[in-house]
Amino acid sequence: MPSTTTFTYGTVGFSAQAGEYREESTITERRHLVRNDGTAFDILKDTVLAEVEGALPRRGDPALASGTGVTWQQFARFRGYTVEQLPNASGAMFTLTWSTMYVLSEPSTYYTIGESVEFQSINRSMRIYRTGWATNPPAASDASADIGGTATQGLGDSNVWPVNQCRIRMRFIQDATATQIVTSAANLSSYNNTRNSATFLGCAARSLICEGVTFNPIKHEFYEVTFDFLFCPFYHHEQVPDLAPDGRPDRVSTGPKTV
């Protein structure tokens, strides 16, 4: 049996439970410790000494001495223990726990941490000066030539038009032992106020804008990165008329001169 200067120890039982996405998978070991000199086991002082000598793992220690790339157990880290003193203080029984949030990304052979996507349908109000326009909102620029169509109001006034939009929230769990949260914050905050350059989540290029990125510790070495996106079928554009010197829409007899 394995031993240290003061203790001899051995595994009495072992179990593992694999969790779902975004849940913990755990390893549990029951370990028996006795003193080499045969004296009574002091559940307070000897527990600390057992950690110092290596008869018990330290918090954050990996479950496996080295990862093999074949099991989620290679990512599990030690979280803590419960201890029970045996009759007559002849030794102690420890229940040790390791855990991780890594899971197998089926049907692949690599391991990942959980992620999720949320959708919320919302509306925004847009003032429109023309209906039946010939030029659609441009995806690649923030301005267009006159859009054509029919004026909604003869005097150049506008109507309020509801635009269906969608908020999209993507959540990813990150491992601080792989990428520190300060590193992620420095790298990913540059996405703020940027648009997608290609189709993403079914949204056409430049129709999706990143409204922000949030970083929150959740448990142990894991933290959550949340991206907030806003989809707009009008590419986040408005109808804007040319203005006359008095600040009102420049008009002709049929409505706004240019929109």
pLDDT by residue (tens digit) across 90-144? 889 999 999 998 887 666 666 777 788 999 999 988 888 777 777 777 767 677 7
pLDDT by residue (tens digit) across 203-235? 988 899 999 999 998 888 899 999 999 999 888
- Give start-end residues of each CATH 3.30.70 domain in the chain: 7-103
What's the pTM? Answer: 0.73
Q: What is the pLDDT of residue 180?
A: 86
How many whole angstroms separate alpha carbon 113 and alpha carbon 12? 31
Domain at 7-103, CATH from 3.30.70, 3.30.60, 1.10.600, 1.20.120: 3.30.70
pLDDT by residue (tens digit) across 145-189? 777 777 776 655 778 888 899 999 999 888 888 888 888 888 888
Q: What is the pLDDT of residue 241?
A: 79
Helices (H) and strands (E) in the chain, counts: 2, 14
Mean pLDDT to the nearest integer, 60-82: 80
Q: What is the pLDDT of residue 169?
A: 94
- Is residue 247 over pLDDT 80? no
Confidence tier at 7 by pLDDT (50, 70, 90) = very high
Determine whether 111 is exposed, middle or buried from the number of CB atoms within 10 Å of its CB (0-12, 13-18, 19+): middle
Task: Tell which residue, 177, 151, 167, 178, has the closest CA to residue 226.
Answer: 167
pLDDT by residue (tens digit) across 40-54? 999 889 999 999 999
Q: What is the pLDDT of residue 154?
A: 60
Counting residues of the chain whose pLDDT is more than 70, the rounded percentage is: 88
C-beta of residue 183 within 8 angstroms of C-beta of residue 196: no
Q: What is the pLDDT of residue 65?
A: 64
